[in-house]
Structure 1
Amino acid sequence: MIKKLSLIALTVGLCTSCVSKKLYTDLEERYADLKKEQRSLADENESLSKVKNQLENDLDKLQTAYDKAVSERDQLKSELAATKTNLENLKASYQALEENSSAAIAENSKKNRELLAQLEAKEQALAAESERLNKLQKELENRSKRVAELESVIASKDAAMTKLKDAISKALTNFEGKGLTVEQRDGKVYVSMENKLLFQSGSWSVGSEGRQAVQQLGAVLAENPEIAILIEGHTDNVPYKGNAQLSGNWDLSTKRATAIVNILRENNAINPENLTAAGRGEYAPIATNDTAEGRAKNRRIEVILTPKLDEISKLLNEI
């Protein structure tokens, strides 16, 4: 895959030297746009994770408030029962004193009125607390439902990406041990192809075996129209001194990424709007450039597959 990236960078450099300054500027602007889009996807993924954590924190807070409200309601019920007991006792005392003292009767009547007022206040407080408890319970249920839906969608996306990874691994079994790897990280699938599978040194023309690998990958992607496909070209840090059409490693990496996109576009079932080509040059190594083995690993094409997040965004807006 690293060889492929080097070939793409070489190709881009060769083409750049032959084209007009305006076209070169357009290519640079396109690359900048693609880089922004990549950063945006990373920011959006981080933002979604933060929102999920915030929702879970809110859910915990609502659960705590609900539990507290239940405790306060139970306490009010206990106080209400005690007040009723006191009232009954006072009524009994009132009946006993009624025959002996009008003053005691008057005092007892006053206490009865006070107790009745307290009883009414307790009942009103209990009703208000019950209403507040019902509102908290409904809010808790609604939030729980939204969080469950969000978790379900995220789980579904992860499951779909796992299924996609397995399908790609199966389709590319014949290329195992030839510089091709398939991994799933952070909700995305990464297909990495070293240049030795794709390109000759300094070239961005895809060889027959590499073309076959890309076409088989495209057959799987054609069955997954809801996946965004980013093709990244990478090189090592050895300065490019090949074809005069290319200005350097960055041009070569971009040229190679574009070559892979063009092969995928041959499959009419793949929506071109889902495809993005980007050159990363030598600035995203996965190994040291101090050894031949490390430089070989760095010369690569990475196909980054990302699920579309429209459904998740809609759920977040509804919360």
Structure 2
Amino acid sequence: MKNIVFPMSILTASLLFTACGVSKKTYVGLQTEYKTLQTQYQDSQLQLAESRSRIKSLEDQLASERQNNADLKAAYAALQNSLDKSINQNSQGNVNISKLVDEINASNKYIKHLVETKNKSDSLNLVLTNNLTRSLSREELQEVDVQVLKGVVYISLADNMLYKSGSYEISDRADMTLSKIAKIIQDYRDYEVLIEGNTDTDPISKPNIRNNWDLSTLRASSVVQALQTKYGVDPKRLTAGGRGEYNPIADNSTALGKQRNRRTQIIITPKLDQFMELIDKAPEPTEVTPEQ
């Protein structure tokens, strides 16, 4: 306000001096001083506007910082709340750690028991397979497949070894092999024996055989009767069944697949209590010390 009043007083004074007849030199000096003061006044107005602009900017910045501060406080409060909840949950979890450890130990014992039982079962299967196959010749093993799964013995015989072509009559060359299989069956005297016939998909064209169901069942029946009459197997242990073409183990679209599907299976099955007894008698698995 002083800067505004001062030029006005100079102007008034200069007018008075002019009216009073001041000299031209003095008047020119006053006029120059007036222009200088006017320039200073304009500069001051510009600085004032800039200052007000800066003040407004600082006020906006202050408001923004206050909002940021409020947001940080809210975030801090949320984090503190989350931390408190985590601490409470951790405290509750610590109470159940002992129980969880006991459950894990119990599970590990059960898993160890299952592994030991499987090892015994695998050992039993290996022993049975060796006992079953050691009496068969190399040539016979090419036409006889012996497998033991979970204590059940599966002996699969090729049809071209067992039967005459397109027939259910036992061939002469099958006698030696059947006699060895009968010996195996007699060794496991308390086991049940199922003879199961299987065919490929080619239809049978015989006047006395209607279809593959008949052929598979008649072939199984021929093996059952041979085991009973020729080799003395108790018929009460024997069952004959046919599955026709509906239990394939290979693709019937190829000659090799059809050959594999034309088979007779002899399935020797222990009763459950006998199976458990065999497991108990199986060789103990070798304990392997873990590497350090």
Structure 1 position 287 matched with structure 2 position 214: no
Contact 1:153 1:312 in 2 (8 A): no
Q: 1:261 to 1:154 in 2, by over 3 A?
A: farther
1:265 to 228, 233, 243: 228
> SS of the counterpart of 2:265?
strand
Question: Are positions 1:256 and 2:219 aligned together?
Answer: yes
Match of 1:189, SS?
strand
- Provide the residue aligned with 1:28 in structure 2: none
> Can you give the 5+ residue segments of structure 2 that lack an aligned partner in the other structure?
1-107, 278-292
Counterparts of 2:151 and 2:188, CA distance in 1: 15
Distance 2:199 2:163 in 1: 12
- Structure 1 residues 231, 249: closer, same or farther in 2, change over 3 A? same
Matches within 5 A, 1:98-177: 159-176=123-140
Counterpart of 1:278, as a letter, is G
Q: Secondary structure at the match of 1:286?
A: coil
Query: 1:30 corresponds to which residue?
Result: none
Aligned residue in 1 for 2:187: 223
Cα distance in 2, alignment partners of residues 272 and 151 from structure 1 = 36
1:277 and 2:240 are equivalent in the alignment:
yes
| Change in 2 beyond 3 A, CA 1:230/1:146 | farther
Partner of 1:193: 157
What is the CA distance between 1:184 and its match in structure 2?
Answer: 2.6
How large is the Cα RMSD of the aligned pairs? 3.9
User: 1:190-244, CA deviations, whole angstroms, 9 ceiling, x for partnerless residues?
Assistant: 2111111011222111111112211111102211123322211000101111132
Q: CA deviation at 1:296?
A: 1.3
Q: Deviations over 1:253-287 (max 9, x none)?
A: 011011111122233355632x2211010001111
Q: Following the alignment from structure 1 to structure 2, what is the Cα–Cα distance between the partners of residues 262 and 147?
A: 46
Distance 1:261 1:158, change over 3 A: farther
> What runs of 5+ residues in structure 1 fail to find an aligned partner?
1-143, 314-319
Query: Counterpart in 1 of 2:205?
Result: 241
- Name the aligned partner's letter for residue 180 of structure 1: V
Report how far residue 298 of structure 1 moved. Answer: 0.9
Q: Equivalents in 1 of 2:116, 2:169: separation in Å?
A: 43
Q: Percent of aligned positions with the same letter in both sequences?
A: 33
Supply the AA of the counterpart residue of 1:203: S
Alignment of 1:290-305 (within 5 A): 290-305=253-268
Q: Partner of 1:87 in structure 2?
A: none
Q: Is the 8 A contact 2:185 2:268 kept in 1?
A: no
Cα offsets for 1:53-112 (capped at 9, x unmatched): xxxxxxxxxxxxxxxxxxxxxxxxxxxxxxxxxxxxxxxxxxxxxxxxxxxxxxxxxxxx
Q: Answer 1 or 2: higher relative contact order, Cα 8 Å, separation at least 6.
A: 1
Mapping for residues 17-96 of structure 1, pairs under 5 Å: none
Query: Given the superposition, is the C-alpha separation of residues 291 and 145 from structure 1 closer, same or farther in structure 2, using an over 3 Å criterion?
Result: closer
**Matched length:** 186
- Determine if contact 1:236/1:282 at 8 Å carries over to the other structure: yes
Q: Would the alpha carbon gap of residues 224 and 148 (structure 1) be closer, same or farther in structure 2, given more than 3 Å must change?
A: farther
What's the offset of the Cα at 1:288? 1.2
